[in-house]
Structure 1
Amino acid sequence: MSILQFFPDPGDPDESLIDPFDPIVGQDQAIALLQGAITTNRIAPAYLFAGPVGVGKRLVAQCFAIALSNGFPTTNFLNERLHKSNHPDLLWVEPTYLHQGNLVTTTEAHTQKLEFKKPPQIRIEQVREIVKFLSRPPLEASRSIVVIEQADTLADSAANALLKTLEEPGRATLILTASSTHSLLPTIVSRCTHVPFRSLSQSDTKRVLQQTGHGEILADNTLLQLSWGSPGKAIASFEQLNPIPQDLRRALTELPLTTRQALELASFIDKTLDAQTQLWLIDYLQHCYWQLHHQPSIIQHLENARNYLLKLAQSRLVWDVTLMQLSHLTQSFAFQNSKTHN
């Protein structure tokens, strides 16, 4: 999700002033803490934005960077440079893969269709880049700003190398984001000012989805419920579900399947969806089937499938067996229900 979707196009430098925190929905406590630091001019050397995935930590980090760089409030024209991460006093760091000696971001890996067995990390080479960036004074702003996304992916060597910088960043502020304080070294957490983030209410989740142009997600109640108050998760889930054709999606979620449908779906899932999406699909189907049938045995079969996939079993075989089992189970339930009503 791009932060640019929340803001108007940049205009003339003399445009009227705006509050950089205006786009934020549902994080009143976090915003109050940051606004208080700005208005009292008590900016900490480092901040830790901790909370669920997809609830606005990245967006707040960019808004806070705007406020720190240009004063508070600031203008649209100056904001735009920070939105595009091309401000000379802003360094944005995100987890990377190592590919043929080069660091590759998740977006670059997706664009280049690269697959990796291990998840991306913040690496020691990136911490060295941070140290180098902070070794020079800020060029335009009153301070340099470094944002480290998903800091809970810091490799051990990178985390240890970052400790001194967190203590003495110079004329700079570091902003780390993470899913929780427990996912980081205690020595890193202790050097940061903690800013808590929370899951959004259902009304706030819907508001964010509408604002960002994802209103079609509101029609799928399962995606909303699976998001657990995270618009980012709802969007990611929608993007995972979207490649599945409507007719197959309908057959997959409604049950019971014919033998032919079960085998066709298994083949489609195996050929079309990557391993991570297949694991996500199990969560989605468990939720759908529980709403429809309330049968623990169905949920258990899907949980067994998850375990086999995690053990790197052949996904086609796993889905063949699982969907056939679910088809037989739901046919049996339907038959029993018809006998009961008769």
Structure 2
Amino acid sequence: MSNNPFAPLLGQKQAIDLLTQAVRQNRVAPAYLFAGPDGVGRSLAARCFVELLFSSVMDVRLLPSLQNRLRQGNHPDLLWVQPTYQYQGQRFTAAEAVEKKLKRKAPPLIRLEQIREITQFLGRPPLEAPRNVVVLEEAQTMAESAANALLKTLEEPGQATIILITPSSESVLPTLVSRCQRIPFYRLDTKSLTQVLTQTENQEILQHPAVLSLASGSPGSAIASYEQLQTIPPELLQQLITAPQSHRQALELAKRIDKDLDTEAQLWLVDYLQQSYWEKRHQSGIISQLEKARKYLLVYAQPRLVWECTLLSVYQEFNVHN
């Protein structure tokens, strides 16, 4: 087992250098903003950074125990916060909602009650580590009330470091950004992407160029996209990629999409078809129609009607240019 906590993190040299130097020089900031695309290692970097922080004053023989505890999420000085759904008075993370098969009509949020729990957590000194650490995944999902409450905590964090994980600086309140040191994360080059997918035993994804194009340098997105691909019936996908051959087929495909695929799968399908159609045809009209479909699906319009209109438009666009 490597003594370098950042060993698993590939393709993010600048972030690793900034965080490592902060610990070595004993200049760890009270708050950080880990900003960059989904799936490029921001959460992994946060775990690596926490391990480096906590192990900096620890006997090297205790490192395996620390690594296991951090992996299991049971260290008393670490609080990991994720967006949640509210259901019958209880909060559930996205993973818990899927496991319990809960119906989700709105995206998950970081809620005011969760910020209050952070304040309570930081109200006591660290029990084992040199400082308390709080990690907020998808910080951009904070409601305004939650963001304002967090702002007060950031002004006086005490003996603690708070890490906000977000797609960009623009996706959270400027007042929060101003109190954080920004750590940039970037999309991976082809070599690093291949290495990550191979090391995580996802090398079969490398045989799917459309998925790799869709992922655009994000291993996490590539894995999620490939998993979603497995849920789409191959025959249905093939008929959609070749485009409807008649008005009747367009309507039949729309009916089948509505019947067989949930909203998440339909949104992924929009992305996949945009990528596929653009590579084949370079017709901006088709891409625009699919973009409209995404917007309607996101506001919970009737999916079958959305796909009927979209696929009829795709059929017409293909025939106009044939």
**Normalized against structure 1, the TM-score is what?**
0.85
Determine the C-alpha separation between the residues in 1 that align with 2:289 and 2:155. Answer: 50
AA paired with 1:171? Q
Residue 94 of structure 1 deviates from its aligned partner by 0.7
Are the equivalent residues in 2 in contact too, given 1:96–1:105 (CA < 8 A)? yes
Aligned letter for 1:70? Answer: S
Q: Which runs of 5+ in 2 are unaligned?
A: none
TM-superposed CA distance for 1:181, in Å, is 1.0
Q: For residues 257 and 181 of structure 2, what CA distance do their matches in structure 1 show?
A: 44
2:109 pairs with 1:109: no
Structure 2 vs 1, CA of residues 111 and 284 (structure 1 numbering), >3 Å: closer, same or farther? same
Distance, in Å, in 1 between the alignment partners of 2:243 and 2:289 is 14
Find out whether 1:189 has 2:177 as its counterpart.
yes
What is the CA deviation profile of residues 194-236 of structure 1, one whole-angstrom value per residue up to 9, with x for unaligned ones? 1111111122122212222221211111111111211111222
266, 274, 287: which one aligns with 2:254:
266
Offset from partner CA, 1:294-315 (integer Å, 9 cap, x none)? 3334334434433543454322
Equivalent residue runs for 1:320-339 within 5 Å? 320-327=308-315, 329-330=317-318, 333=321, 336=322
Partner of 1:290: 278
What is the alpha-carbon root mean square deviation over aligned residues?
2.2
Q: CA deviation at 1:66?
A: 0.5
Are residues 1:225 and 2:213 paired?
yes
* Segment drifting more, 51-60 vs 259-268: 259-268
CA distance, structure 1, for counterparts of residue 298 and residue 138 of structure 2: 23
**1:84 corresponding residue in structure 2:** 72
Give the one of 62, 65, 71 matched to 2:50: 65
1:24 aligns with 2:16: no
Q: Structure 1 residues 312-321 or 172-181, which shifts more?
A: 312-321
Larger radius of gyration: 1
Distance 1:124 1:147 in 2: 15
Matched residue SS, 2:201 = coil
Match of 1:98 among 86, 108, 117: 86
Residues 251, 261 of structure 1: 8 Å contact kept: no
- The DSSP-based 3-state class of the residue aligned with 2:188 is coil
Distance 1:276 1:244 in 2: 12
Q: Does the Cα contact within 8 Å between 1:91 and 1:146 map onto a contact in 2?
A: yes
CA displacement 1:255-295 (0-9 Å, x = unmatched) = 35466654443233112222233123112112111212233
Distance 2:310 2:81 in 1: 41
Moved more, 64-73 or 201-210: 64-73
1:122-201 mapped onto 2 (5 Å cutoff): 122-201=110-189
Structure 2 residue aligned with 1:240: 228
Q: How many angstroms apart in 2 are the aligned matches of 1:202 and 1:31?
A: 19
| 2:226 corresponds to 1:207 | no
Q: Output the amino acid matched with 2:306.
A: V
Residues 152-177 of structure 1 deviation map (CA, whole Å, 9 limit, x = unaligned): 11121211111232232222211111
The match for 1:3 is none
User: Matched residue of 2:53: which SS?
Assistant: helix
2:66 partner letter: L
Structure 1's unaligned 5+ residue stretches are 1-7, 9-16, 337-342
Moved over 6 A (4+): none
State which drifts further: 41-50 or 309-318: 309-318
3-state DSSP of counterpart to 2:34: strand
The answer to which of 175-184 and 22-31 deviates more is: 175-184
CA 1:30–1:153 in 2, change beyond 3 Å: closer, same or farther?
same
1:251: which partner in 2? 239
In structure 2, the residue matched to 1:40 is 25
Distance of 1:324 and 1:151 partners within structure 2: 39
Given that 1:151 and 1:177 are in contact with CA atoms closer than 8 Å, whether structure 2 keeps it comes out as yes
Give identity over the alignment, percent. Answer: 54
Instruction: Give the direction of change, closer, same or farther, for the CA distance of 1:290–1:76 in structure 2 (3 Å limit).
Output: same
